[in-house]
Amino acid sequence: MKTTTLHDLYIDELKDLYSAETQLVQALPKMAETASSSELQEAFENHLEQTKNHVHRIEAIVSEINASAKGKKCMGMEGLIKEGKEVMHEDMDEQVMDAALIGAAQRVEHYEIAGYGSARTHAQTLGYTQAAQLLQQTLDEEKEADRKLTEIAESQVNEFAK
């Protein structure tokens, strides 16, 4: 189906974000299991719960506009997760692995921040005030996850990996 309006694009973005988040729900437990830092493990586990909420938010948003969140595969997230899996299979010291996991996770967060920022702006333009607020809430959580990963890296992981 041809995308001819901002509304069409908005729905496509929501489907892409839904796919990205559902893929991440599958990937985060393995990242937590691979991490040796208890603080990093906890950050991944906490973000897993947030990510499950992000999935539910998208479902609620698309339900309000009589659309479906399913039907698209986010190739960007698939690639980022594949890169993360490759990192986890490399032979590294535990502390270096933690630093590598943080880098992989931050690439994911930055990708999500870009996606949610665009979707939120489109929701605002289309007059979907409640959806824009929900998307902003998720955007704020993604930014906070990125900030937390930076804090973990700078406060301990990078020093131990050095």
Render each residue's pLDDT in the chain as its tens digit; 162 residues. 688 999 999 999 999 999 999 999 999 999 999 999 999 999 999 999 999 999 999 999 999 999 999 989 999 999 999 999 999 999 999 999 999 999 999 999 999 999 999 999 999 999 999 999 999 999 999 999 999 999 999 999 998 888
Cα distance between residue 127 and residue 108, in whole Å: 28
Residue-range domain boundaries for the chain = 6-161
Predicted pLDDT of residue 1: 64
Say what angle helices 38-64 and 94-126 make with each other, to 10 degrees.
Answer: 20
CA-to-CA dists, residue 128 to 89, 139, 148, 152, 159, angstroms: 43, 16, 30, 36, 45
Q: What's the pTM value of the predicted model, to 2 decimals?
A: 0.94
Q: What is the pLDDT of residue 160?
A: 87
d(CA 89, CA 21) in angstroms, rounded, equals: 23
- In angstroms, the CA 118 to CA 24 distance is 19
Report the CATH number of the 6-161 domain.
1.20.1260.10
Closest-CA residue to 40 (of 162, 148, 159, 119): 148
Structure tokens at 23: 């893929």
Quick one: pLDDT at residue 27?
97
User: pLDDT at position 119, please?
Assistant: 98
Strand blocks (E) in the chain: none
For position 2, what pLDDT does the model report? 82
